Amino acid sequence: MLRVPGFAAFVLARLAAVLAMQMQAVVVAWQVYDITRDPMALAYVGLAQFIPMLLLLVPAGDWIDRFNRKTVLALSWVVEGICSALLLWLALHPQHGIVWVYAVLVLFGCGRAFTGPALQSLLPQIVPREQLAQALATNSMLMRAATIGGPIIGGLLYKLGGGSLTYGVCLASFSLALVLLPLVPTYRATTASAHTSGDLRHMWQRFGEGVRFIRAHPIVLGSISLDLFAVLLGGVVALLPIYANEVLQVGPEGLGLLRSAIGFGEIAAGLYLSRRPFNQNVGITMFIAVLVFGLANLVFAFSSWFWLSFACLLVAGAADMVSMYIRSALVQFSTPDGMRGRVNAVNMLFVSSSNELGEFRAGTSASWVGAMPAAVLGGICTLVVAGLWMRQFPTLRRVKQFEEAGHTASRR
């Protein structure tokens, strides 16, 4: 781990929070499908979290640039901890039905609208610029430890004590993150003015500056939109409960392992990148990683053998980590500190669209044509998107080093 004061506390706090999110995600998905046996119910799980994130995009980006980012992050974790407490209460009182679970997920989406952009904007204030790429790789790798551990622990806890035990542990993890956060010092304050008018008109004007920045920089626009469409159309996470229950027949423990396979691949790639961060031919490497991601998901779609499915998700996770590492570094190197909140808010909307809205797309497709055809179509779409983006964003494809991102002229 980098020897930067406060970096360890930042990573541990984020690790605890992400661990809670992953445990909660696998248990909510299993409970919802176990109660309804309806793929559309899984689609609504993603949609319930995506809608509030979309609606809160503008205030999230604006407030993160105008106010203390640690405070915004702490408040978002408080909201998410309250959601774990509410899910705990619902698990103890199951007669209230699944509608209330969706209501809690809407509130959880409100918290996540601020969490992601705040975390991404806070890291460059902790780590010197010359160590930022390595810090991104180290941070991403350790977060994938939570991606691995969360679903496994969530599945085991659910088997041992049901949803009440799992949600109780989630609540404790969010509390630990809040305890660690004050130990994180920040050295470079945001350059955005916290004293400008906060009315809605000025908020939209400031946010418009961030949108115009993204549109004027094809490296940023191409990077985040590539992730949006590749994962939105090709992700299979929402289909895992169906595959685990009906295709592979492995139960909730197997579902936890399948979700963790993606994390195993990501952490292996992240560990390598944290020790050997590369800075050559980054643009074309990102496109190759997306192509590998699509191929791995395509093979998974046809698999009926658990360990082959596990291996496909492992490869997909490793490819996604390489793509995310490059994309995150390109966005961070391209964006001035005073605009990071707004740019990262748009970025996190794209990421959330690819995840939560992608879950809705996958669940809807599975409801219409079946899980396997939906997964096959998704893998093919990812390959098509990667090819189209390579042609549409030649500037991004030709980027050699991360430092070029901040100096490349705004052209396609």
Average the pLDDT over each of 154-163, 276-285, 356-365 and give the range with the smallest value. Answer: 356-365
pLDDT, mean of residues 166-191: 83
Most confidently modeled range among 67-71, 179-183, 199-203, 343-347: 179-183
pLDDT of residue 62 exceeding 70, the answer is yes
CA distance 190 to 347: 18
Using only the alpha carbons of the chain, give its radius of gyration: 20
Q: Token digits for 167?
A: 């949600």
Other CB atoms closer than 10 Å to residue 200's CB: what's the count? 11
pLDDT, mean of residues 154-165: 86
Most confidently modeled range among 53-67, 226-240, 298-312, 332-346: 298-312
In this prediction, residue 187 carries a pLDDT of: 65
In this prediction, residue 105 carries a pLDDT of: 93
Quickly list H helices, 37-181. Answer: 39-55, 57-66, 69-92, 98-122, 132-180
In this prediction, residue 406 carries a pLDDT of: 58
CA distance 270 to 85: 32
Please indicate whether residue 133 or residue 372 has the higher confidence score (pLDDT): 372
- SS3 of residue 375 by DSSP: helix
CA distance 200 to 304: 52
- 311-326: pLDDT as tens digits: 999 999 899 889 888 8
Question: What is the rounded average pLDDT for all residues in the chain?
Answer: 81
Please indicate whether residue 216 or residue 315 has the higher confidence score (pLDDT): 315
Q: Token digits for 195?
A: 């004293």
pLDDT of residue 189 exceeding 60, the answer is no
In this prediction, residue 210 carries a pLDDT of: 75
Helix H or strand E encompassing 249 = none
Average the pLDDT over each of 159-173, 330-344, 354-368 and give the range with the smallest value. Answer: 354-368
In this prediction, residue 353 carries a pLDDT of: 61
In this prediction, residue 195 carries a pLDDT of: 45
pLDDT of residue 350 exceeding 60, the answer is yes
pLDDT of residue 299 exceeding 70, the answer is yes
In this prediction, residue 108 carries a pLDDT of: 94
Contacts of residue 208, defined as CB under 8 A and 6 or more positions apart, other chains included, come to none
Q: Mind listing the domains of the chain with CATH numbers?
A: 7-182+200-406 (1.20.1250.20)
